[in-house]
Amino acid sequence: MSDWWRGAVVYQIYPRSFQDDSGDGIGDLPGITRRLPHIADLGADAIWLSPIFTSPMADMGYDVSNYTDIDPLFGTLADFDALVARAHDLGLKVIIDQVLSHTSDRHPWFTESRADKTNPRADWYVWADPNPDGTPPNNWLSVFGGPAWEWDTRRRQFYLHNFLSAQPDLNFHQPAVQDALLETMRFWLERGVDGFRLDTVNFYFHDAALRSNPPWPQPDGRPAVNPYEMQTHLHSKTQPENIGFLQRMRALLDRYDARAMVGEVGESQRALQVMEEYTRGEDRLHMAYSFEMLGPDFTPAHFRRQIDGFFTDAPDGWPWWSFSNHDVQRHVTRWADHGKDADSLAKLAIALLIGFEGTIGLYQGEELGQTETDLLYEELTDPPGLKFWPENKGRDGCRTPMVWETGRPNAGFTTGTPWLPVKPPQAARAVDVQAADAGSVLHAYRAALAFRKAEPLLRRGRTRFLDLPEPILGFTRHDRQAALTCLYNLSPHPVSLVVAGEWKQVGPSAGVTATGTGLKLGPNGYGFFASSVDSVPRVTG
């Protein structure tokens, strides 16, 4: 099926932390391959692998020094081929990360580019002369703190880096750069990958005139923890030229059967609009996701605004919704104030996701209700955490190893010393413990994903929101014949609903009690109710 991605469930694997079979404390491809049945049994349709390419690991693989080989930490190309074959045997598609906006400063392209101003790759990166007073050419800032410009003594120019100084930005205004990157994508398509997750997809092009960004006023008038949020990034990213390169990538994928791209929109100020623009029509991204559901907001109004807003402005586009990934605090911890307890909140979260129109992403460990790991400063490896501690503790807390067997050293992740510690609160949520408990979060995920797979309306039906009071979220998923009403209590307190009409409760539920006038939803309760499209139950708060 060429549009397998539409409504699919994609499980993100963070390779360093999934399974270490070599004993060096870092996860690897053979370990992932061995654990793939866990993901297939969960009910996922595809896996997304965070970067596994050759890298100095300044940013844990998001600084690539060779786009067409596997870093020895993770294995070999033969190991990768074996992983793809095993995944396909299990019915799982394989999506790999593509970090195209920048390379490592140890990539041979950059080594050549920085040598002088006349070599064949001199303009493959973004170089600029200093101002007469020696300052950078403009006010652009790095996401990871400080100026986005680094002085290079060889060329006596600044180079642009939107992230670490070890991650110089490629110059997409140079057609040869685009051609070279498309060839690296072709390499992996020929090896059988089913698609790409495109890191920072809106960072490819920069304003060629290097105009400074205007300020972004802070709500409370105080400086942000990270000054990057104090600018409106009008010129440093999300440029109109981006669309043309998306179209070139789409044209490449369309030469192969059933391949797909999802773009990560790194935009905090107009993310929904960029998602819509980048997935509109049939010649851009297949899907896009942003950080809009990866933040602290946990209200019916917020979720409605994201989903309704997207499909109103881009009815032929397609979103990908996730609650957690390798860059943000785990959602069970992030939304703890809204939960009766961690398990109830985790079960509510997957019930929400399976109801959302779009493709959904799961991050390794969330099927266990995994919580954020509390790390000491000396245990950190992540550059933002090291720079902005303690107000921003970085991303290591969500990247600690997957836990498989609670009684084994490091919960079965490795026989060596893990690159990040496995702590008791995380080990207590191991797969083996939850597999033996029918009431566990793991079993709730399996049931929810099985229901989504069996119910066409949840994968392809359209959405109509119900006007209900906080903290109740309600909507229908429907086609021309049938409707499914999805109701959720986004609070740790019981709520009552008045429900009139013909309906039948179906699928997984939690805390649903029929009353004389309708329903009561317990703390973090949820339920699904089937009806014909002509007799959708009337629900009021």
List, by residue number, the catalytic residues: 199, 264
Q: Which residues of 26-57 are buried (b: 16+ CB within 10 A; e: fewer)?
A: bbbbbbbbebbebbbebbbbbbbbbbbbbbeb
Question: From edge to edge, which strands make up the β-sheet containing 260-264?
Answer: 287-289, 260-264, 195-198, 93-98, 46-49, 9-13, 359-363, 320-322
Please state, as a whole number, how many other Cβ atoms lie within 10 Å of the Cβ of residue 176: 12
Instruction: Please tell me the distance from the alpha carbon of residue 404 to that of residue 19, in angstroms, as a whole number.
Output: 9
Query: Quick one: which of 259, 265, 297 has its CA closest to 279?
Result: 265
For residue 304, the surrounding DSSP H or E stretch is: helix 300-313
520: exposed, middle or buried (C-beta count within 10 Å: 0-12, 13-18, 19+)?
Answer: middle
- Please provide residue 449's backbone torsions phi and psi, each rounded to the nearest 5 degrees: -70, -35
Q: DSSP for 431-491, please give it.
A: HHHHHT-TTSHHHHHHHHHHHHHH-HHHHH-EEEE----TTEEEEEEE-SSEEEEEEEE-S
> Are the C-beta atoms of 145 and 228 separated by less than 8 Å?
yes
> Are the C-beta atoms of 139 and 209 separated by less than 8 Å?
no
Residue 54, token pair as written in the block: 């050759």
